[in-house]
Amino acid sequence: MLFNVLKEDYTVEFRNYGTIEIPKGTMVDCQSGEDPDINYFPVCEFDWLEKGYPEQSRTMMADAIEYGILIPRDKLTKALRLRFVYDDSGNCRDIYKAVNREIRCCRMESRREDKVEWFTVTPDWEEPDCPLRTDILIQIVDRDGKAILSEQQEKTPDGSVSDKTFPFSWEKPQATQQEELMRHLIYGDNI
């Protein structure tokens, strides 16, 4: 199952708080399924409030849950949410599992500098199989299910690649916040 998330940062006037910015990748509630008559979906993830609005996050979250923040359908994209499983550094790849399915994927080095490739893997030997679609956002979640990292493949004449936005599990981490999140994800409690 793919999730509906914001494809870009989205700004909206929200109650008496003024203009707020909801970050790219925030999930919306799609209990209504794929009904084409529904054009707005309520935000259902609010961890971004703590980071972006620390002094008001509790009251904003309560109001957002009670009154809702609606996002137009055209501002959404599909996302595949994955959890880190283990590193296969001998083959220069990391293995991930979809949070709500038995699908496994690998993220591997590309021949092009600062690029990576995402594939589904075969069930038996976990060998790269099919490239992940270019129309979905790939989100890595922590053990609490919060999206912390993302990449998106783009189609090129040679196949599909993504900009490398975070290190592989075997790479020596540097002291940036995103790399600290990746270390927490890898060395914390896994699936």
34 and 128, same domain (yes or no): no
Domain-ending residue, one of 31, 54, 77: 77
43 and 96, same domain (yes or no): no
Residue 60 β-bridge partners: none
Number of domain units in the chain: 2
95 and 181, same domain (yes or no): yes
Structure tokens at 88: 């296969």
- What does residue 144 show for φ and ψ, rounded to 5 degrees? -90, 0
70 and 111, same domain (yes or no): no
Flag residues of the chain having pLDDT under 70.
31-35, 173-191
pLDDT tens, 119-163? 999 999 999 999 999 999 999 999 888 899 999 999 988 889 999
Q: What is the pTM of this model?
A: 0.83
57 and 150, same domain (yes or no): no
pLDDT at position 46 is: 95
69 and 95, same domain (yes or no): no
Task: Give residue 159's domain range.
Answer: 78-187
Going by the DSSP 8-state scheme, the letter that residue 1 receives in this structure is -
